[in-house]
Structure 1
Amino acid sequence: MPEVIFTGPAGRIEGRYQPPKTRHSRIALILHPHPQFGGTMNNQIAYQLYYMFAERGFAVLRFNFRGVGRSQGTFDHGQGELSDAAAALDWVQGLNPDARACWIAGFSFGSWIGMQLLMRRPEVEGFISIAPQPNLYDFSFLAPCPSSGLIVHGSADRVVPPSDIQTLVEKLKTQKGIVIDQQIVEGANHFFENKVDELMAICGSYLDRRLAAAAKEDDAA
């Protein structure tokens, strides 16, 4: 788990990078929860997502948004953090020019940043969005959503009413050719306390299904 430092729009960005197993391996970018509420790249769910992708051979990067840990700058209410994420993806793509595709996985605030990023990057083939907050953040930019992905949240989330996430999912499901897989972790709160293992099992199973389907398409081609 090499520590890395690279240059972002607001200065130095601190991250952890796992090199890929092959030069054509996919890239995964992990985005952590809200910086002003204790969110860092070492958040338990961000950490687990990092290893989930690494175990499947991805080139994986997780990093601290501006103003967090050793990353320079100050919190910028999402706009600057989106620029940080774009710079992070540029950096890892520069190391892996032959990567076949990218995935983005974000938790809470990180899922909002991640879904904005995938709108700007056509090479993103899939996403995992954990506990998005459409009641707090505007997701109207997803018109249309360009990639299929997983949205997973807890049934006991008091930060985000499940009905608000349901509305978001239903909106995204109307996009032709896009498949949004929604999973609900029963009894889980916004932070998935005592439910992280169940959450990660859902994410890992989804990723394995998508990778198996992509491999079949490659074989057919």
Structure 2
Amino acid sequence: MPEVIFNGPAGRLEGRFHPSKQRGAPIAIILHPHPQFGGTMNNQIVYQLYYAFAERGFSVLRFNFRGVGRSQGAFDHGQGELSDAAAALDWAQAISPEARSCWIAGVSFGSWIGMQLLMRRPEIEGFVSIAPPANRFDFTFLAPCPSSGLFVHGDQDRVAPIKEVTSVIEKLKTQKGIVIEHAVVEGANHFFEDRVDDLIGKVDAYLDKRLGNPPKIAIAARSD
């Protein structure tokens, strides 16, 4: 997949971009786990999410937050990373000006950033939030949540216990006009060790349901 460099608020940001061949295809932005705990755009879950959207006809961007890999800047405890995510969406929309809509997907810390971006950008019509650390970061800003989406958690997650996330999800489910789904991967910890295939299977099923079982597009090679 093509390597891209685009301008962020703290300097250049490094990413990988898969442009759809379909005119007006939707955009998906994939956000990686916590930069200070080894999170990068090459995280296995981020990588698999990237292709899950690409195979369904999306133009997909994954990138390194500031200070990660070849991205310039330094970790900013979430505020700067949210600005990075907004810049990534701006860049993807500039590349694909006819895009019908946008989705956001994030893993752990990335899910927290993604849900904040969701609140700020009305064009985001769907989300996938994986292992959101509701015990470590404040998710009360999701009131109301503007779009339907999927939360996925492992039942053996000790970093972000499932009960903390469930309380957030139950509040969101009371809203009219949106549908919040919650999938649990049995035997999975916060990093979904030995359970990534199960996780992606749940994401695949959700995307197919939301998107009306679109025909899958063969991606020539799953390697950069």
- Structure 1 segments of 4 or more deviating over 2 A? none
Structure 1: unaligned runs, 5 residues or longer:
215-221
Q: Which amino acid aligns with 1:165?
A: V
Q: Which residue of 1 aligns with 2:221?
A: none
Q: Which residue of 2 aligns with 1:89?
A: 89
Matched, 1:102 2:105: no
Q: Determine helix, strand or coil for the equivalent of 1:4.
A: strand
Q: CA deviation at 1:115?
A: 0.2
Matched, 1:20 2:20: yes
Pairing 1:32-111 to 2, within 5 Å after superposition? 32-111=32-111
Distance in 2 (alpha carbons) for counterparts of 1:122 and 1:213: 24
Q: Determine helix, strand or coil for the equivalent of 1:40.
A: coil
Distance in 1 (alpha carbons) for counterparts of 2:204 and 2:125: 16
Distance in 1 (alpha carbons) for counterparts of 2:162 and 2:153: 8
Q: Which amino acid aligns with 1:143?
A: A
Distance in 2 (alpha carbons) for counterparts of 1:4 and 1:30: 14
Which structure's residues are more often helix, by fraction? 1
Q: Which amino acid aligns with 1:193?
A: E
**1:78-130 C-alpha deviation (Å, 9 max, x unpaired):** 00000000000000000111111000000000000000000001011100000
Distance in 2 (alpha carbons) for counterparts of 1:5 and 1:69: 12
Q: Which residue of 1 aligns with 2:154?
A: 154
Distance in 2 (alpha carbons) for counterparts of 1:59 and 1:213: 17
Q: Which amino acid aligns with 2:147?
A: S
TM-score by length of 1: 0.95
**1:139-178 C-alpha deviation (Å, 9 max, x unpaired):** 1111100000000000000001111011011011111111
Matched, 1:207 2:210: no
Q: Which residue of 1 aligns with 2:168?
A: 168
Distance in 1 (alpha carbons) for counterparts of 2:31 and 2:140: 20
Distance in 1 (alpha carbons) for counterparts of 2:19 and 2:131: 28
Question: How many residues end up aligned between the 2 structures?
Answer: 214
Q: CA deviation at 1:195?
A: 0.3
Distance in 1 (alpha carbons) for counterparts of 2:98 and 2:28: 14
Q: Which residue of 2 aligns with 1:189?
A: 189
Q: Which residue of 1 aligns with 2:220?
A: none
Q: Determine helix, strand or coil for the equivalent of 1:104.
A: strand
TM-score by length of 2: 0.94
Q: Determine helix, strand or coil for the equivalent of 1:91.
A: helix
Q: Which amino acid aligns with 1:177?
A: G
Cα root mean square deviation, aligned: 1.0
**1:165-221 C-alpha deviation (Å, 9 max, x unpaired):** 11011011111111100000011000000000000010011001100189xxxxxxx
Distance in 2 (alpha carbons) for counterparts of 1:32 and 1:158: 19
Matched, 1:133 2:133: yes
- Greater Cα shift, 16-25 or 29-38: 16-25
Structure with more relative contact order (C-alpha pairs < 8 Å, separation 6 or more): 2
Matched, 1:31 2:31: yes
Q: Determine helix, strand or coil for the equivalent of 2:212.
A: helix
